Structure 1
């Protein structure tokens, strides 16, 4: 192949990863970002000496991030520290029982669930059987869907059967678990992202397998460091970055992409990578009219001081609304930076709702930043949670890594079966694989 002029639309993790990979493959890459900084949901938020991750605070599948850095330049270990967590998260249930879900250990998870059972059933064995059943699911997805571009016409039978299954997650969980608490633990990653379990394919339960097998990981100081390191990587690879530049549409000629239209004029391109919600681009919007974005939750970033409860990095308080407390921000000495997330029927202030769970920090607030779902969508130009699950057809209705428009590729949260850095990072690798080296 010859060197291509490639325009990547979107400076979130998907766009950064795509641009870095394509530049390393020898292409001339320009990245467009509508805001004045790179990173998308990986950007930090700061106020009065406190700093919070705007989006995720942990990640699964660290190999995805390591592979990205290794394939685009210096290895990850020379840029930043990715460290494992002992817990995936702590779950607190309405009956006042607590599960501290271990990270990356089958035996430890079995022991934790057995302790939760308190003699009322073999919960560890039930959980283990559920997770173990997804081992084969992961291998089928990894080989035929996540690590190589999926062609439905050439898909192996086992993958076709899996993706075409009519079984939804809520039925699978009710069948496998008599104890509601196990259902809540298994369904949490989807409920917090705003999905209805009746519309989530049962095979997405593979997330529990990933948590147990590969564990949860973070970066000291916040995952925003990954976005900053990738921004530096683009400079090293010679990527042209145009901030404050909104892509209005893809320029087509004879049905093929030949550029990108912006408010500042058109940019010529041999290929275009859409790493934003494709609904924002008229040339692609018609191809995704059956899909909807998963709407972000209510978020409150609070800077605290004083004598505070000793919480792990993430605590889930089950109920309606569901509340999630993340404690991993950075703060001045004697302080703490927490993020509280609310999902469900939140009819009162999120800190008041938190106080009802006996975690009352209202008198310790030094500073506070609130973000509604609309605020988050406006800030990021779309939802970093990707496509809302609406049944098994969602797999075919979303785009990525290719699209119906020749010369246009899709990466990012809207081009994956799930949110989070692993799925998004894999989508960027698929785009680079489709386009190939110069």
Structure 2
């Protein structure tokens, strides 16, 4: 039995702690704030509350596997619901498309309504990622990987110079399809010229596996995992910032916190490694993908009906996500802004025909800096800076013996599926007690 200290109580830390405790290790989780969940938490003001960040996920099998491998099945703890429409895209020429998930035929029909022949162009593009997914799933996403001994097919993709920008321009003559395919990365703050082409398989995952949400909000996932840690007898230390790792005789020996040292045989770093001086030099050439400008709106009265996620393309690009807890007759929206934000988000919304300025009851605004400070880092992980970004990340292992990395900074990108997979990789690398 190893003494394991998990640093960080976001999804990556919670998932890592649950898995390692089930494998028989003695696990302590330290979290700098007074609550767990990180970006899976909620924001509240008055009688309104909103999901702090993510409102849906793809690859529900990642969540199901986590719960099954750490105790009771997810179905006994959570209610996962597939979305009929992943998101709606509205373009500057006043056309729009609603993107269904989980079915090739429905997506083909939706894009054909946007323009003749566009449906076939879209489904052909999505299908082009089938081999990428299978190769990377088997040799990169689902198994700990050795940077120096990558399988040939995996290395061919990770080392490819092809960018997502080039792949989309080659696949589509219609710029609107480029916007749809590139949207998840642009919203996360990436330049498509710096994103590897294979990363575009997000569109394949949405088509094949659908997008899912959790009844009660994504915070229900954090609450269920917190209960799972209690069941697995994980020691949880809140309001305990990790200051650095303690290395003795070339191996990790403890985590230094504001409350003293915690002895450890194994440490899992589920926060931005730049925050720990021992690891910071190894990731000095990476940068975080910063969150967007966010405005949580509590509305009343008759407001426009919008789907689960509405993308308003332009500069700035606006994303509207309804959902949350409201008083009777109320509506909760969260609005994200990316690009040249030269005016208030509500005024920008009004220019798109969504004028809710007279319906605002409460409003909570957060800048990217405020979000990073609140979460102790960016839940969007590492900024894509070309193909070398894969090699510059840490995780699941690190150059320090006994130290592993999980979370958004240890994956091929942010988002719950990849964060969940990072925790699985750590559990495999550490192994059973």
Structure 2: runs of 5 or more not aligned: none
Instruction: Please report how far the alpha carbon of residue 391 of structure 1 lies from its aligned counterpart in structure 2 after TM superposition.
Output: 0.2
1:142 aligns with 2:137: yes
Q: Does 2:196 match 1:198?
A: no
Cross-structure match for 2:7: 9
Structure 1 residue 104 displacement after superposition: 0.8
* Distance in 1, Cα, partners of 2:69 & 2:134: 23
1:96 matched to 2:91? The reply is: no
Matches within 5 A, 1:16-415: 16-117=14-115, 119=116, 122-415=117-410
Deviation at 1:51, TM superposition (A): 1.3
| Aligned partners of 1:165 and 1:201 also within 8 Å | yes
Secondary structure of the residue aligned to 2:278 is: helix
TM-score (norm 1): 0.98
| Matched residue count | 433
Distance (Å, rounded) in 1 between the aligned partners of 2:66 and 2:203: 24
Could you give the per-residue CA deviations for residues 303-357 of structure 1, whole angstroms, max 9, x where no partner exists? 0000010111110000000000000212111111100000110011111111110
Please identify runs of 4+ aligned residues in structure 1 that moved more than 6 A.
none
Is the Cα contact below 8 Å between 1:53 and 1:329 reproduced in 2?
Answer: yes
Q: What is the DSSP-based 3-state SS (H/G/I as helix, E as strand, rest coil) of the residue aligned with 1:7?
A: strand
Q: How far apart are 1:18 and its partner, in Å?
A: 0.1
What is the CA-CA distance between 1:155 and the residue it aligns to?
Answer: 1.6
Matched residue of 1:368: which SS?
strand
Q: CA deviation at 1:284?
A: 0.3
Aligned counterparts of 2:208 and 2:375: Cα–Cα separation in 1: 32
- CA separation in 2, counterparts of 1:150 and 1:198? 26
Tell me if the contact between 1:9 and 1:33 (Cα under 8 Å) persists in the aligned partners. Answer: yes
Q: Take 1:34 and 1:355, find their aligned partners in 2: how far apart are those partners?
A: 39
The alignment partner of 1:30 has SS state of strand
Q: CA deviation at 1:221?
A: 2.2
How far has the Cα of 1:255 moved from its partner? 2.1
Shift of 1:153: 2.7
SS of the residue 1:207 aligns to: helix
Q: Which stretches in structure 1 are left out of the alignment for 5+ residues?
A: none
CA drift at 1:154? 2.4
CA distance in 2, matches of 1:32, 1:115: 51
Query: Match of 2:229, SS?
Result: helix
TM-score, length-normalised on structure 2?
0.99
Tell me the distance in 2 between the aligned counterparts of 1:255 and 1:196.
Answer: 39
- 1:152 CA displacement: 2.6
Q: What per-residue deviation string (whole Å, max 9, x for no partner) do you get for residues 92-130 of structure 1?
A: 00000010000111000000000000x4xx101111110
Q: Which residue of 2 aligns with 1:421?
A: 416
Please tell me whether the aligned partners of residues 221 and 328 of structure 1 are also in contact (alpha carbons under 8 angstroms): no
Q: Helix, strand or coil for the counterpart of 1:159? A: helix
Deviation at 1:263, TM superposition (A): 1.1
